[in-house]
Amino acid sequence: MTPVVESVRSAVALLVAGEWVALERLTSGRRLSAKELERAVIEYGRTLSPLPESAFDELDIIEVDSGLVRTLSVRVPLWTLEEGRSDLELDLTLKELIDGIYELEIDDLHVA
């Protein structure tokens, strides 16, 4: 498994577990706070579930020309117990700090 997928997997696991504060810490609280993440999931009205392994093979990953550091935009479709694959999506930015180590930012958690 690639470091990018492992980084995404960590963020999704925290989101699914409702570990809002831990996810806020992981992303240094940039863009979305723990309360905003929790509110988005509650307003969606369904129960998030872990992604199937195949979902990690289908991540939408785009390299962003940011200059100094390798930067990736990643769109992650989410799953719920009620729907399976849902229309809820997690949008992330990953910045490579050193080889294989990424800093994560949550850009959005929204209905796609």
Q: Is the pLDDT of residue 67 over 90?
A: no
Summarize pLDDT for 14-25 with one digit per residue, the tens: 999 999 999 999
In angstroms, the CA 68 to CA 105 distance is 17
- For residue 1, pLDDT over 70 is answered with no
Report the 10 Å Cβ neighbour count for 48.
Answer: 19
Domain count for the chain, please give it. Answer: 1
φ and ψ of 47, to 5 deg: -100, 115
Look up residue 73 and give its amino acid.
S
What pLDDT shows up at residue 28?
A: 87
Of the chain, the percentage scoring pLDDT greater than 90 comes to 89
The helices-and-strands tally (H runs, E runs) of the chain is: 4, 5
Q: Domain with 105 in it: what CATH number? A: 3.10.450
Domain that holds residue 45: 3-111
Question: If pLDDT is split at 50, 70 and 90, which confidence band does 112 have?
Answer: confident
Give the pLDDT band of residue 86 (cuts 50, 70, 90): very high
